Amino acid sequence: MPIPDLDNWFSYHAPTPEQLNHYNAIRAKARELADLFNEAVPDCADKTAAMRELRGTVMAMNLAVACNSAPTSAPASSA
């Protein structure tokens, strides 16, 4: 694994206003889907698993926004 990838993945990325808009849009749409799942699917282990997967998907999408947007400044060094 290239060191720059690890540095990017394990650094804090302060969100820009544009990124915050993306995060909020992603969460809003995921919430709509979660509401649909909650209304249409009976409570069971599979529903719980699907909700966890949806939550994980939101987190992965937020990471994609954070780690792949053009940086406005260099990440702070932890050294």
* pTM for the predicted model, two decimal places: 0.77
pLDDT for residue 73 is more than 90: no
pLDDT at residue 70, as a whole number: 63
Provide the residue range defining the domain that includes 49: 16-68
pLDDT for residue 42 is more than 90: yes
Beta-carbon count within 10 A of 65 CB: 19
- Whether 75 maps to a domain, the answer reads no
Report how far residue 8's alpha carbon sits from residue 40's, in angstroms, rounded to the nearest whole number.
39
Provide the token pair at 45: 């282990």
The pLDDT of 56-71, averaged and rounded, is 89
pLDDT at residue 62, as a whole number: 95
Which percentage of the chain shows pLDDT scores above 70? 87
If phi > 0 it is left, if psi is from -120 to 50 it is alpha, else beta; for residue 9 that is alpha
Separation of CA 6 from chain center: 17
pLDDT at residue 4, as a whole number: 87
- Whether 26 maps to a domain, the answer reads yes
Give the count of domains, the chain.
1
